[in-house]
Structure 1
């Protein structure tokens, strides 16, 4: 077992599986996270407060994000059931960092409404999910809550303008939930939603004839050279010299705390001497996946999380070529980054057939691991393959979140 795998297995293993799903503003900045738990059981909420390790993880990892202005802590949405609310079993969590999400299937009695008002008076923002405009039981809640989730897939985009018009007097923050495509995001933006949740960032909007930008082409040329047995530091520098600014940026990031190099690196050939071809390949991959103009940082962040988690799971499974798992996870949303169809895009990326099949068809061990990581990040814990012990998925995810923020900090500095 590798040193990294041993470290991961010795980490504190939490009693719950957790993931986080971003909530976006109109400008596609992340403004909050919804916390996803295995089974959403009531006990998971208590674990956040009663289990010091779990509470620390939520505060220091799941709620943290690196943005252009540095690190900051974002509020988390917590789903709560009637039982938690009515039995006074809600943990005493800081209202500035937690919003309470009540569910549409709740039995909305006068007692329930009174408890919701009590939570609002304590400073909690109240979110209502599963809203049905045809069901009058929700009417009494509309003057109590702060954020209203509208499931755009269930309600239908064509019906939303009328629903929004009727809701306007309540002056709520409307959250468009299950936004799956960029076109749906655009339509919801035009309707006036202030918050957005869903996987629209993961899907490309292919533009016919679109080309990869010149500095990304140079990175692909560097990758192509790295695939050659004859590649040397000098041959890589011969390509990189065509874009000195990019070369400087690569060296700046490699010298950052994200890699903990023993001494300053001042050239690509020097970097290769100290780090080796595989690590240089990793960093060129990272630069290939940094955001294009107009693309939100969250897309790059998620690519980093996927890449690192695939790599960590490979290490835990004892796989010798964990770097290839990293590449598969990292590049799995390259089509969304470039708005170019994945099959067309991979024709320009120098990768083995095994890696390309994993990206296109989830085939082979790398493809299966990528599917596991996708299921984890969506909170679909019941669909995990159990390639490793279940608590280790959360450990790998947690480490991936931390690592991604460290790299984002280097990339944005």
Structure 2
């Protein structure tokens, strides 16, 4: 592993995942210093993504938006990437001339999608690229509402799509929708829409309580079996899960007890939690569930490296419940009060200072590709950054595998 790789979701108008922007940080010089000449380092990372990590592993088969410098475009480095998955993102500071346009035309003719990053109307030299691009990205924090609409009006056609970047609130998402944007990048989907004076549905509330019970230390496998037997949906999902191609069993499993025995108590608890949580997440963007699972897997995997191996279930729950305010439409403090979690989890999720909080901060810093903060937290936690990078990718792979079942 020669690089740190994170991903940020890009959603469509229906809040389904269209793809991910791949954010990477090469380590060609050191863990602490950024590489000033990004061309050769970025090329190494692109090759690493293809040969070592794999685009499909990073995105679950969705589009991968990958930044390209001028030199890499002229060197046809994009042809290392599969055209079915790659979106070639041209950085905003590239010099536009006939040579660059010819390189972009080669990509277009080969079937690649091209995106132009951080487009603004005042950069007239980028207008030819905007006319060529399949996707035009607009930073909603650096441009005005009038500019948002003007860009769509001037460069819109039947096939070109506009991506609203850094949409961090539901209001910005709605503004972008009304302005004609069809793709959205930012964590607006992970912010709760507060439901005033409305009771939590009983089924959702009971599911959350059941999830908490599943993770009690003294909860025997027989009791878990009884929980599953009371819910036909859980029985169906359990048998479908154990008989999936992932396990590769030679004989079909038709017994709940047999399925539980094969999985083992630890994996049964995890499976049941994920299944119930998926039910609770209905009505929310799928990426909310995906992000929760990714956090849970990542936090849990960190535990043995932080002298917290016995607290893996707690760290897993911290990730699962980190977006419970979004699920319930409640302020976080109120939402957490509805579910009996440990004081340590509640305190960490609410921003308090305890041994769990740095783990949470490390996960959210990695999501945002805030590498300076990632390295600072690695130092604080006495964990090697390369270990963190590996565990994060493994958490992505595990999360995508869950969604295939």
How would you bin the TM-score normalised by the shorter chain?
0.7 to 0.9
Q: Report deviation, 1:131.
A: 1.0
User: Per-residue CA shift, 1:285-338, capped at 9, x if unaligned?
Assistant: 323421533322222111111100011111222312122111111211121223
Cα gap change, 1:288 to 1:43, in 2 (>3 Å): farther
Aligned to 2:28: none
- The answer to whether residue 353 in structure 2 is matched with residue 358 in structure 1 is no
Aligned to 1:81: 69
Aligned to 1:409: 404
State the alpha-carbon separation in 1 of the partners of residues 359 and 366 from structure 2. 11
Contact 2:119 2:136 in 1 (8 A): yes
Q: Report deviation, 1:100.
A: 1.2
User: Per-residue CA shift, 1:214-266, capped at 9, x if unaligned?
Assistant: 33322234345557787556666776666444455456546767789999584
Match of 2:53 among 53, 57, 65: 57
- The answer to whether residue 328 in structure 2 is matched with residue 338 in structure 1 is yes
Stretch of structure 1 that moved more, 280-289 or 195-204: 280-289
Aligned to 2:29: none
- The answer to whether residue 201 in structure 2 is matched with residue 201 in structure 1 is no
Aligned to 1:155, the other structure's residue is in SS state: coil
Structure 2 stretches of 5 or more lacking a match?
26-33
The within-5 A match list for 1:83-162 is 83-87=71-75, 92-162=80-150
Stretch of structure 1 that moved more, 78-87 or 224-233: 224-233
Cα gap change, 1:247 to 1:339, in 2 (>3 Å): farther
State the alpha-carbon separation in 2 of the partners of residues 273 and 49 from structure 1. 40
- The answer to whether residue 395 in structure 2 is matched with residue 395 in structure 1 is no
Match of 1:327 among 317, 332, 348: 317
Aligned-residue CA RMSD in angstroms? 3.2
User: Per-residue CA shift, 1:183-242, capped at 9, x if unaligned?
Assistant: 322222222212111111211111112333333322234345557787556666776666
Contact 1:31 1:74 in 2 (8 A): yes
User: Per-residue CA shift, 1:101-153, capped at 9, x if unaligned?
Assistant: 11111222333333333332333221111111122222222222221001112
Aligned to 1:312: 301
Equivalences, count: 387
State the alpha-carbon separation in 1 of the partners of residues 75 and 143 from structure 2. 32
Contact 1:99 1:125 in 2 (8 A): yes
Match of 1:43 among 37, 40, 43: 40
Q: Report deviation, 1:32.
A: 2.0
Contact 1:237 1:268 in 2 (8 A): yes
Cα gap change, 1:260 to 1:214, in 2 (>3 Å): farther
Q: Report deviation, 1:87.
A: 5.0
Contact 1:311 1:323 in 2 (8 A): yes
- The answer to whether residue 197 in structure 2 is matched with residue 216 in structure 1 is no
State the alpha-carbon separation in 2 of the partners of residues 357 and 207 from structure 1. 23
Contact 1:19 1:36 in 2 (8 A): yes
Aligned to 2:89, the other structure's residue is in SS state: strand
State the alpha-carbon separation in 2 of the partners of residues 166 and 371 from structure 1. 41
Contact 1:210 1:340 in 2 (8 A): no
TM-score w.r.t. the length of structure 1 is: 0.82
User: Highest relative contact order (Cα 8 Å, sep 6+), 1 or 2?
Assistant: 1
TM-score w.r.t. the length of structure 2 is: 0.83
Cα gap change, 1:343 to 1:114, in 2 (>3 Å): same
State the alpha-carbon separation in 1 of the partners of residues 185 and 42 from structure 2. 22
Cα gap change, 1:221 to 1:185, in 2 (>3 Å): same
State the alpha-carbon separation in 1 of the partners of residues 386 and 238 from structure 2. 35
Cα gap change, 1:407 to 1:224, in 2 (>3 Å): closer
Cα gap change, 1:85 to 1:371, in 2 (>3 Å): same
The within-5 A match list for 1:255-266 is 264=253, 266=255
Contact 2:43 2:72 in 1 (8 A): no
Q: Report deviation, 1:62.
A: 0.9
The within-5 A match list for 1:233-312 is 243-246=231-234, 248-249=236-237, 253=241, 264=253, 266-267=255-256, 271=260, 275-276=264-265, 280-290=268-278, 292-312=281-301
State the alpha-carbon separation in 1 of the partners of residues 328 and 254 from structure 2. 30
Aligned to 1:408, the other structure's residue is in SS state: helix
Match of 1:173 among 161, 177, 185: 161
